[in-house]
Chain A
């Protein structure tokens, strides 16, 4: 039985297991239908031209992993940005772990999707926001069909969330292969500000496939900073679907750091409903071995006077494959749009491959839109300069690569994350330099 059939047949069992709330039930049933019709994307789909899921899907994934585990704080401590005081929503094999987490209902809701989907007091929010911005493509629909658990964050008006929120998904590897489908919903009301860090991590080497969906709503003048840290081991694959709907004058920035994982696919889609919105999409990708990282972004400019900034840097070694597929759409009404898109790549090895496709679709005339993309190598002269001053080759190379990626890091607002990323970059490049100069 292939994975598609397995998923479809387990849907009924799943439906019986969760509370059949009439509202979500309808959405789920419709979603499984969509998935059944569309199936998993193949290389024939234009959006998946350079990324094949075939090999990943061959594994016999357990859709409902066993729920026993003895994960303690010390097992996961190193994956937390632990020095900072933060809210934590921690899941182990898709199940909420209350003793590791730190949630709140004090003036705002930082809790669970499962609670939000079933408890009547969240009903209004769920009806207004759940599955409202997620597109109806096959993988998102699959997640919608099985949506039951994840992080639920609702920040009411005029609130500055003092501590960042960490969302962590761990997999224990109790099963031979596990498939996880977390579903996050984040609603930030007028004038509020929140910072979120998301991470998926497997604790053993057993294969994991995560198909995650996050919906973010930033209402008027809200500010959201979202950081995705992707440094999983080489057997874990991640398909991350993030959808953001912005209202006027809101600012939402998403930073994606992709260092680990076997196959990582990031679908990041911004929809701007309102004027004077700013969307920021940044990413650093440093991969080697046979890793495959695919960034698929969309920014839809619907109303006038909005901005978007995209900046993706990639460094690819060994047999790694990098894909960037960025799309900026400026609709007819969206005059005075200012959209910028850049994708810069460095290839370190002849076996590494980069496929990039930055697209612009523009229907309004009074706009400033540009995109640029480059593929190249480290500058020999710069390398020579550093080496002539006594810096060993490896370190010199690492310094240059760090400099290359640095302007993405500059906009990271949480200093602890910046430190952590610096460390990860050093690790990834195999050098022992503190980049915090």
Chain B
């Protein structure tokens, strides 16, 4: 075949691309787009072993074959996956920036949440000149943890230092081919947390509470893997009550929990990403796959407070594989303005005497849509399985919507399943009662909402519960009256 101008053009194009692509390894941000090269480059950047690279490539190949799911009760403009940069190093603090440069509205919110000045600086990307407490605190705690044999580090570090653990468990609960976003995450995840609690160890502190400042700034494709070995206990906290003005439009995280025999994992999330402005412009798409596996007598408990993101698509699930295992799901989802949330849980009962509890509270205001979508599945081997589900919705105004889509599939006669759902609004009489006692309407609503969500707020670790309560208040500000 003759070599012609077109061929040359083509070659030049690819060449340039290759070139651009190599230089970018050295720099901090990759070019936009996703292909096998990018996946390899991320893996190389992270200095990963071959098996990890292969695992990512496998996921990428699967992802290419998949289509975005459309069954969720949300409508949005689909993100263009070729218009995203899949790797960027965490932003460095600008040394000349001071708190005065920060959006005063944001500072006001911090004040309301009661966040310390140091944390505020860190969160807004202001350089901190004094040695902040949290760093030293972090190191002290790291020492306590390692004394007990607890491994708690970024997952990229774990891939280097504890490859045997990562290799054994990664993708076992959420396989690469699980769904569109899980496949995408498996191919391109840049960081996340890894946690291993050895046999019989009770983790002495709420993991990540003390580290949450350090954790800020992790990429949009997080991968978390928590392994609780036999008889251990851990409480893990993720997220932050502070509003994080993240620029990333798409977040596709994967969380895998493994509770071996007699272990217990408590996983709490507070999510308050940018929900878009009052007109529904902008905002984060939050497409998360979270799943936990319970072996015999193990327990996994998910607690979540979802107030941010313009689109939420999230179903923390429990696979109750072992006998006598327990799964719990406590959720508050608040949507305001044009937010849309489709969230819920899956409880898959495989073992005997397994129990699950689902408490979901949805609060919709403005023009938002809030859906609960859940599955309770009792397999034929699961004797004496027990499930209790309760989904309550609170509507504010007649322009929002609340939806419930529970799926219940039972294949064993000894199962006992209860599901109930209610929808209500804040009664005028309730507000009147508060007004009468000198509580203004805004405060009255906060009070009633807090009462409505109490069952779930109670499940949060103490430090977060207080902040979460205030967060609910702020999220619903101006939605009534």
Shortest distance in angstroms between A235's beta carbon and chain B's nearest beta carbon? Answer: 26
Q: A348 contacts B401, CB within 8 Å?
A: no
Query: Can you name the residue of chain A whose Cβ is closest to the Cβ of B393?
Result: A362
Q: With A355-B408, A362-B401, A370-B420 in contact, is A377–B425 under 8 Å at CB?
A: no
A142 near B: Cβ within 8 Å?
Answer: no
**Residue of A357, A360, A364, A371 with most partner-chain B CB within 10 A:** A360
Q: CA of A366 to CA of B399 in the docked complex: distance in angstroms?
A: 11
Q: CA of A434 to CA of B364 in the docked complex: distance in angstroms?
A: 51
Report, as a range, how many residues of chain A touch the other chain: 35 or more
Q: With A332-B399, A355-B407, A366-B398 in contact, is A360–B412 under 8 Å at CB?
A: no
B257 near A: Cβ within 8 Å?
Answer: no
Q: CA of A372 to CA of B407 in the docked complex: distance in angstroms?
A: 12
A369 near B: Cβ within 8 Å?
Answer: yes
Q: With A350-B413, A353-B409 in contact, is A372–B420 under 8 Å at CB?
A: yes
Give residues of chain A (319-370) contacting chain B, Cβ–Cβ below 8 Å: 332, 335, 345, 347-370
Q: A347 contacts B403, CB within 8 Å?
A: no
Residue in contact with A377 in the complex, picked from B405, B409, B416, B421, CB distance below 8 Å: B416
Q: B413 contacts A352, CB within 8 Å?
A: yes
Residue in contact with B419 in the complex, picked from A363, A366, A369, A374, CB distance below 8 Å: A374
Shortest distance in angstroms between B407's beta carbon and chain A's nearest beta carbon? Answer: 5
A375 near B: Cβ within 8 Å?
Answer: yes
Q: A348 contacts B413, CB within 8 Å?
A: yes
Query: Can you name the residue of chain B whose Cβ is closest to the Cβ of A372?
Result: B420
Q: CA of A375 to CA of B71 in the docked complex: distance in angstroms?
A: 26
Q: B417 contacts A376, CB within 8 Å?
A: yes
Q: A359 contacts B403, CB within 8 Å?
A: yes
Residue in contact with A350 in the complex, picked from B399, B405, B412, B422, CB distance below 8 Å: B412
Shortest distance in angstroms between A379's beta carbon and chain B's nearest beta carbon? Answer: 11
B227 near A: Cβ within 8 Å?
Answer: no
A373 near B: Cβ within 8 Å?
Answer: yes
Q: B395 contacts A354, CB within 8 Å?
A: no
Report, as a range, how many residues of chain B touch the other chain: 20 to 34
B380 near A: Cβ within 8 Å?
Answer: yes
B414 near A: Cβ within 8 Å?
Answer: yes
B25 near A: Cβ within 8 Å?
Answer: no
B400 near A: Cβ within 8 Å?
Answer: yes
Q: Which residues of A contact B167 (CB under 8 A)?
A: none
Shortest distance in angstroms between A264's beta carbon and chain B's nearest beta carbon? Answer: 19
Q: A368 contacts B424, CB within 8 Å?
A: yes
B397 near A: Cβ within 8 Å?
Answer: yes
Q: CA of A374 to CA of B378 in the docked complex: distance in angstroms?
A: 13
Q: With A370-B422, A372-B420 in contact, is A353–B410 under 8 Å at CB?
A: yes
B345 near A: Cβ within 8 Å?
Answer: no
Query: Can you name the residue of chain A whose Cβ is closest to the Cβ of B403?
Result: A361
Q: Chain B, 376-393, contact with A by CB distance < 8 Å: what is the 0/1 string?
A: 000010000000000001
Q: B412 contacts A356, CB within 8 Å?
A: no
Q: CA of A351 to CA of B414 in the docked complex: distance in angstroms?
A: 11
Q: CA of A215 to CA of B313 in the docked complex: distance in angstroms?
A: 39
Query: Can you name the residue of chain B whose Cβ is closest to the Cβ of A332?
Result: B398
Query: Can you name the residue of chain B whose Cβ is closest to the Cβ of A366?
Result: B425
**Residue of B393, B397, B408 with most partner-chain A CB within 10 A:** B408
Q: CA of A46 to CA of B71 in the docked complex: distance in angstroms?
A: 9
Q: CA of A366 to CA of B480 in the docked complex: distance in angstroms?
A: 14
Query: Can you name the residue of chain A whose Cβ is closest to the Cβ of B370?
Result: A362
Q: B402 contacts A360, CB within 8 Å?
A: yes
Residue in contact with A367 in the complex, picked from B405, B413, B425, CB distance below 8 Å: B425
Q: Which residues of A contact B402 (CB under 8 A)?
A: 360, 362
Q: Which residues of B contact A372 (CB under 8 A)?
A: 418-421
B415 near A: Cβ within 8 Å?
Answer: yes
Q: With A350-B380, A365-B400 in contact, is A374–B395 under 8 Å at CB?
A: no
Shortest distance in angstroms between B478's beta carbon and chain A's nearest beta carbon? Answer: 16
* 5 pairs, A vs B, C-beta closer than 8 Å: A335-B398, A359-B406, A365-B398, A369-B423, A377-B414
Given contact pairs A362-B393, A365-B395, a sample of 7 additional A-B residue pairs in the complex whose CB atoms are under 8 Å apart: A50-B409, A353-B409, A356-B407, A359-B403, A367-B424, A368-B424, A376-B416
B residues with CB within 8 A of A: 71, 380, 393, 395-425
Nearest 10 Cβ contacts at the A-B interface: A365-B395, A347-B413, A375-B417, A372-B420, A369-B423, A360-B404, A365-B425, A370-B422, A363-B401, A354-B410
